[in-house]
Structure 1
């Protein structure tokens, strides 16, 4: 239950709604409890009339008034319970919003290493399952169980007034019933975790397959993917059978115990009525009260089942929320969320929530005069514990300089870009931007200084305008059009029926590769960052598309410090310096002319190009 209490503390902004639900539950319970007293009184009146102790006329008036009072009580109970249900619905939906937004906020600020070991679809499936189970339980508790719990407490007090043995038996029922239920919890939750694991994996694969459906179809893998999906879900059948068998076996024991206890309760009521200790009306009253107490006990297994699902879901939720984030994200978390609070912050602690004032963006860091724009100081790095993929990288790039990285595939070129963007931290050494270690720069300030054009354009569903303005959402239409024009994209954009408002589909699938890449170039232009990274920006394009994109890249690089992961020797020949990498080490640094005569990697590539050996050129991601 501690996990559920954490959810309550985590959503403490919902306190007014929690209070409203509790008040409605108390009032609903009060009106419901009035009914047995009214019916008991009516029973005594009828018995008095039958025995001649009360005149018929008086009895009729009394029972009519009592029936009217029952009607009023039940109408009030109906209205108040539905008002409480409304508050409960609003509360559960608001809880879903808060938990979902904070989960998303947390994901956006988790380190790249976390995502390297997760499947995208599994992350989404976990979000849907965990939060659905939590909010469903909250809704159930608010709409029904709270009022039943209050009613049960009241019944215990009332039965103690009439006959303490009844209360004693009821007091035995609840702890024993809960104890018997708890005996099933450990095994049930273990089996539930096994099911969730398989469902999450299957759901993650489902999202992957749908996202890459063209690959699946082109390799005729529909049957294989369906078989794997069916196997994952099918494996939950045996788990569910074992889980259900265990649960229902225990439910037979629990309910049998309940039946025996209530047998004793009814015997006490009936015998005492026969002995004259209770009137007929009191007998009816007590029987109805016992029935009201029995209802929540009988539904306990269903409530606990729902609670256990919520507990399992909350554990998955907080497992993500407790993952540490880079402390440099603190300046990025000050924007208000949908629930009106500040961002999730570094942890999902239950302590006081940070305010927007506590998380104001850090002051802009000024460049160190005369320092290189980008510098790698004896940098070593490993993606996992083990052998480094970069070894002692020393490299400085001056303002306005164009530097190309050349080396074998897997030699560390893209890793250098990842370190520059702060996606990973070096194991040793430091990466400096504008003369300051990147670890001292808030990530938003670090990344705002760097524009990137990746090999994969990585567009989003939506309009062309939205994608170009992704780095500057507040950009004017004129600025968007100017960026597209300079990226050599304006002409093809205007040929679409909706122009810049044209929807491009998921990942821009309605566009050609060259069109997607030119929009990516326009996006980088509009960002207008002083440092530019081209990560094999044209390697996936044909010659015609490359020429079109290259014009935009030349415009983009003008006046900027550029780091280029090269794939065409024609591009490499135009840079100021080339850095060649071999097995994660810097092999050579020099101008294209110097390295052409050095006999190193670059000279070898030129020789291979001249000989037309495309097979060996491909080893270096280089084409002639």
Structure 2
């Protein structure tokens, strides 16, 4: 329950809605309680008239006015309950927006390591399940149960006025019901957690399969994927079997106990009426009041069931919200670094950097993923401004890891990393990443238009600027062939485009950002030879006077760089120009020889080395 109260406390901007809902609940309670009193007055008047054996015009008018009063109260109740329901619906919708946006904002702020260990579908499933269940419960509570609960409290007070034994019996209902419910709560929540785990795993796999449906179909895995998916839901059915049987068995016990209590309530009312302690009108009044008190009890099973789901969902929500944000995680003290708590130096902003300041510096750098052994060790590397550097190495050698460190996706275990003279530990992530333009091996487009994808890093770019970079990336020609040109919708992850087309749009996107440091991570791997040559011409123009860090599968694409850095087992092995390293007999020379060889054995060895990873 504490997690639900935290949600209410975190949405204080909805206070006007909460006040409106509370006021409407008070009015609903007042009108609901007025009905039994009006019916009591009408009953007593009718019994009196019938007992007298005749009636007058005054009697008829009095009864009619009571009927009018009943109509007015009912109409008021109808109007107020719908206004309150409207406020409740709006509050729930706004709360869902607030919680969903905060959840999304939190996810965007989490470090890369969080996404390395969570399935995408699981993250999405939590959003749709946890927040939806929580807001639905709060909506139901505001629209239905709160007015009924207030009515019940008023009923207890009125009943005590007429008969304290009656009020005492009514008071015992709620603690009795809650006590019996508490006996089931711990086991129910444990079983619900097991079901949610299966739903999250199934949802995560579902998103994976749909996202890679071509692979699934190509390997004929549709049936096995469906079987595994169905088995997850079959497990929830088995869990639900035990959960529901236990819950409804306890519910039968709870409701049976309440039936006994209400038997005592009705017995008191009937006996006291026979003894002339209550009039017939008072008997009718008390029966209606008891029925008003009975309504929330009969609703309580649904309410508690919904509350249990909402509590479980809100706990999952707060688990994510309490994760350490990326900037904080990356600024955390590490071994070998300063930990004196001194404030970060202010970023330099757009101040010009002297040309003799290195673009990138790694100093005694060590890095490993979470608790894993070091992936990079004792890395000392300096890249000058305007220099073109290629990273070469076997798969797993650490090339992509270096790029991830440059982009601030992870932080070093030891040592320092400086970008344009600034320690990355003392830079904001926004400033750090603004200094890099990146083209990844996977083009990673979004499901918008061609123009939106090219302008992703520079949304205010003009059409002329977008077209200019598209021309330089050799993309303008094929874009113009589309019926809608730059307004063509590319589909999810750019599925409507070929691999080469996606890559050229990604290159245009990096060109438009115009950052001082360019990172090309297998940027031309998806292009055919002709397209690659055209794009290389544009990249050569872009790299002129700009720092460029290149990871390339085809060694021919890095033959014109200033320096090549080879990595082996997480350490820098060789550094030199292409001409120098081609004669050393080291890793680059071996790869160059193997790639140029046409012999099958050499090609096999080259695949084993696999420099693309």
Calculate the TM-score normalised by the size of structure 1.
0.93
Structure 2 residue 464 is matched with structure 1 residue 464: no
2:419 to 418, 433, 449: 433
2:603 maps to what in 1? Answer: 614
Match runs of 1:51-200 below 5 Å: 51-52=51-52, 55-200=55-200
The 2-side partners of 1:2 and 1:128 are apart by: 21
2:401 maps to what in 1? Answer: 415
Alpha-carbon contact 2:130-2:310 (below 8 Å) kept: yes
The 2-side partners of 1:440 and 1:91 are apart by: 41
Q: Residue 83 and residue 530 in structure 1: after superposition, are their counterparts in 2 closer, same or farther (change >3 A)?
A: same
SS in 2 for 1:503: coil
The 2-side partners of 1:540 and 1:468 are apart by: 18
SS in 2 for 1:473: coil
Match runs of 1:234-383 below 5 Å: 234-327=234-327, 367=353, 370-383=356-369
2:44 maps to what in 1? Answer: 44
SS in 2 for 1:563: strand
SS in 2 for 1:186: helix
The 2-side partners of 1:194 and 1:622 are apart by: 43
Alpha-carbon contact 1:329-1:442 (below 8 Å) kept: no
The 1-side partners of 2:271 and 2:330 are apart by: 71
Structure 2 residue 501 is matched with structure 1 residue 515: yes
The 2-side partners of 1:186 and 1:578 are apart by: 61
The 2-side partners of 1:413 and 1:164 are apart by: 81
The 1-side partners of 2:347 and 2:426 are apart by: 14
SS in 2 for 1:147: helix
Shift of 1:620: 3.9
The 1-side partners of 2:328 and 2:313 are apart by: 29
Match runs of 1:580-619 below 5 Å: 580-612=566-598, 613-619=602-608
Structure 2 residue 513 is matched with structure 1 residue 527: yes
Alpha-carbon contact 2:327-2:429 (below 8 Å) kept: no
Shift of 1:54: 7.7
The 2-side partners of 1:270 and 1:365 are apart by: 89
1:337 maps to what in 2? Answer: none
Alpha-carbon contact 1:484-1:522 (below 8 Å) kept: yes
1:33 maps to what in 2? Answer: 33
Structure 1, unpaired ranges of 5+: 332-345, 347-359
Deviation string 1:152-189 (CA, Å, 9 cap, x unpaired) is 01001111111111111111111111111111111111
Q: Residue 196 and residue 578 in structure 1: after superposition, are their counterparts in 2 closer, same or farther (change >3 A)?
A: same
SS in 1 for 2:374: coil
The 2-side partners of 1:250 and 1:329 are apart by: 46
1:338 maps to what in 2? Answer: none
Shift of 1:361: 10
2:3 maps to what in 1? Answer: 3
The 1-side partners of 2:56 and 2:146 are apart by: 42
Shift of 1:365: 7.0
The 2-side partners of 1:256 and 1:489 are apart by: 74
The 1-side partners of 2:587 and 2:68 are apart by: 98
Shift of 1:509: 1.1
The 2-side partners of 1:416 and 1:241 are apart by: 51
Shift of 1:368: 6.6
SS in 2 for 1:419: helix
Alpha-carbon contact 2:330-2:425 (below 8 Å) kept: no
SS in 2 for 1:389: strand
Deviation string 1:42-98 (CA, Å, 9 cap, x unpaired) is 000011011118844332221111111111101110010000000011010001100
- Report the more deviating stretch, 314-323 or 614-623: 614-623
Shift of 1:370: 2.9
Alpha-carbon contact 1:484-1:490 (below 8 Å) kept: yes
1:339 maps to what in 2? Answer: none
SS in 2 for 1:299: helix
Alpha-carbon contact 1:38-1:70 (below 8 Å) kept: yes
The 1-side partners of 2:350 and 2:325 are apart by: 21
Deviation string 1:210-258 (CA, Å, 9 cap, x unpaired) is 1111111111111011101100001111110111111111111111111
2:205 maps to what in 1? Answer: 205
2:436 maps to what in 1? Answer: 450
Alpha-carbon contact 1:379-1:431 (below 8 Å) kept: yes
The 2-side partners of 1:465 and 1:330 are apart by: 33
SS in 2 for 1:562: strand
The 2-side partners of 1:511 and 1:392 are apart by: 42
1:490 to 473, 476, 492: 476
The 1-side partners of 2:84 and 2:330 are apart by: 39
SS in 2 for 1:540: coil
The 1-side partners of 2:349 and 2:291 are apart by: 66
1:579 to 559, 565, 570: 565
Shift of 1:35: 0.2
Structure 2, unpaired ranges of 5+: 333-345
Shift of 1:364: 5.6
Deviation string 1:475-497 (CA, Å, 9 cap, x unpaired) is 11111111111111111111111
Shift of 1:369: 6.6
Alpha-carbon contact 1:109-1:326 (below 8 Å) kept: yes
1:392 to 365, 370, 378: 378
Alpha-carbon contact 2:137-2:307 (below 8 Å) kept: yes
Deviation string 1:431-485 (CA, Å, 9 cap, x unpaired) is 1101111111100100010000111111111100000000001111111111111
The 2-side partners of 1:176 and 1:589 are apart by: 78
The 2-side partners of 1:294 and 1:203 are apart by: 40
Alpha-carbon contact 1:374-1:432 (below 8 Å) kept: yes
Calculate the TM-score normalised by the size of structure 2.
0.94
Alpha-carbon contact 2:330-2:411 (below 8 Å) kept: no
The 2-side partners of 1:619 and 1:558 are apart by: 34
Shift of 1:596: 1.5
